[in-house]
């Protein structure tokens, strides 16, 4: 067929097996495997046969720009995911929805009503309240001289921030924040695992989607239905800031959203907002502990910008902390929470890097490989926030989707709309933990274990256990 002839012209590893194709070449850390394969068989684009699915792997900034920006209108759709179809009510969320009118409307709801800069700013008080709760926990640990599980601290903090923004104060008062956290962990396992239907679409008609996914969606159903019903009947309180459920219910008819559509979008908000923030914070703190000079420099900036004796470093204080922003950028460059962007799907036959890509080809962009490519980054494997400081070579680089060497949030139509939310949450908690405490590794520790665990996102395997000491000079 014409499609097969076009695919055979693409660079591809020669070690293809019957039925499974190149699946045996993908190890437990796919972003590493794909980077190594691309170096030998790419480097810009490379075709892998993953089961029955031809997959184009993009590993260079130039090819990423072609797919995500220049020809974005062709590659803006998503391949079918059997698990996502179950979890997100027929993929009527924003992350997994196929490109089309529904997706455009759902995306518009998020960018116009939920995650605007003004809406993020309006949640400032809630963020600062959550930070104060974290500081109280760490202060108590410091007083007793005991270690803090910083990984868990960040995970709970990110989850609580998102719960507050999405559902208001109700879940915490009823002890549901922990339930949301557990549900999101299961979501990540289901979506990040090996699902036969994704690689062998002909099996989809056999309904091999695990009963676990169906059962899990039922728990989400009950929880979200309960919250929506309570929001519909709760009394109007002028003092309460509108949460995401309030906003979605207020525009539901305008955008023609069904109840299931609303629930799918809410699940997206939980999924994207929690893990991305927690993982970015955990990696940043781990790198700071591995690089004491960077930690000292960041402490000097934070403590110099915030007034001495402050109980809380506020968001207003953050405006002068350029090194804090550089630390955040460098952490996301080295440790993109989603190292392989959610797969794209070509909707028409199109040319990329001199090759004609057939319609229906799955496309994976290896953002992790882009951020560590020594061709484009000086000392690419080192944690050097200075590269993003004023007058440095990469000072102008940001994660707004314009620098295709650096795509922690993606780019183009499918770019994550939660950048403002994530950065605001990241900076306020890290600044306060650096301002109020000095941090030490456990006695006898040989360093921080940076081993990775792969799922829908990538995070560190081991918990980050640190001993906080109250800073005496602030």
Binding residues for heme: 416
**Distance between CA 279 and CA 154 in Å, rounded?**
8
Known binding-site residues equal 416
Which residues neighbour 391 within 8 Å (Cβ) at sequence distance 6 or greater? none
3 state SS of 340: strand
Could you tell me which of 321, 294, 326, 301 has the C-alpha nearest to residue 393?
326
Strands 350-352 and 344-345: unpaired
Could you tell me which of 379, 363, 369 has the C-alpha nearest to residue 338?
369
| 369 and 381 Cβ atoms separated by less than 8 Å | no
Could you tell me which of 167, 224, 258, 204 has the C-alpha nearest to residue 83?
204
Geometric angle at alpha carbon 355, from 76 and 55, rounded to 5°: 55
Q: Write down the number of H helices and E strands in the chain.
A: 19, 11
CA distance to 259, 348, 349, per residue, from 3 (Å):
40, 11, 9
**Distance between CA 117 and CA 421 in Å, rounded?**
8
**Distance between CA 213 and CA 411 in Å, rounded?**
30
Burial class (CB in 10 A: 0-12, 13-18, 19+), 118: exposed
**Distance between CA 384 and CA 386 in Å, rounded?**
5
CA atoms within a 13 Å half-sphere pointing along the CA-CB vector of 223: 25
């Amino acid at each position: 067929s014409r499609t097969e002839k076009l695919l055979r012209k693409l660079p591809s590893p020669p070690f293809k097996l019957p039925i499974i194709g190149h699946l045996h070449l993908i190890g437990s850390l796919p972003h590493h495997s794909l980077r190594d394969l691309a170096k030998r068989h790419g480097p810009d684009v490379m075709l892998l046969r993953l089961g029955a699915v031809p997959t184009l792997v993009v590993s260079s900034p130039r090819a990423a720009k072609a797919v995500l920006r220049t020809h974005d209108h062709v590659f803006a759709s998503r391949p079918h995911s059997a698990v996502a179809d179950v979890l997100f009510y027929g993929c009527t969320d924003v992350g997994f929805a196929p490109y089309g009118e529904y997706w455009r409307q759902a995306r518009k709801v998020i960018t116009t009503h939920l995650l605007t800069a003004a809406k993020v700013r309006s949640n400032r008080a809630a963020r600062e309240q959550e930070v104060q709760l974290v500081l109280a926990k760490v202060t108590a640990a410091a007083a007793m001289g005991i270690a803090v599980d910083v990984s868990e601290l960040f995970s709970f903090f990110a989850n609580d921030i998102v719960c507050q923004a999405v559902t208001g104060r109700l879940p915490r008062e009823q002890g549901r924040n922990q339930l949301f956290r557990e549900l999101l962990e299961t979501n990540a396992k289901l979506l990040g695992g090996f699902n036969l239907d994704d690689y062998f679409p002909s099996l989809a008609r056999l309904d091999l989607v695990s009963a676990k996914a169906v059962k899990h969606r039922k728990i989400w159903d009950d929880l979200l239905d309960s919250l929506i019903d309570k929001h519909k009947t709760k009394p109007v309180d002028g003092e309460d800031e509108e949460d995401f459920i309030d906003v979605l219910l207020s525009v539901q008819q305008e955008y023609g959203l069904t109840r299931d559509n609303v629930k799918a979008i809410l699940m997206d908000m939980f999924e994207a907002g929690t893990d991305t923030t927690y993982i970015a914070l955990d990696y940043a703190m781990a790198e700071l502990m591995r690089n004491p000079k960077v930690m000292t420099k960041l402490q000097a900036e934070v403590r110099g910008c915030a007034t001495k004796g402050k109980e809380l470093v506020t968001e207003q204080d953050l405006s002068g902390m350029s090194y804090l922003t550089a630390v955040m950028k460098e952490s996301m460059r080295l440790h993109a929470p989603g190292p392989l962007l959610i797969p794209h799907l070509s909707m028409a036959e199109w040319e990329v890097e001199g090759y004609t890509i057939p319609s229906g080809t799955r496309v994976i962009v290896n953002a992790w490989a882009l951020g560590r490519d020594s061709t484009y980054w000086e000392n690419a494997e080192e944690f050097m926030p200075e590269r993003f400081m004023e007058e440095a070579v990469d000072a102008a680089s940001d994660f707004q989707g314009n620098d295709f060497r650096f795509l922690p949030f993606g780019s183009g139509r499918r770019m994550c709309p939660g950048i403002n939310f994530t950065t605001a949450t990241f900076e306020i908690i890290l600044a306060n933990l650096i301002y109020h405490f000095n941090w030490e590794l456990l006695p006898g520790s040989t360093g921080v274990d940076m081993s990775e665990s792969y799922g829908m996102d990538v995070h560190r395997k081991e918990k980050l256990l640190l001993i906080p000491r109250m800073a005496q000079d602030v």
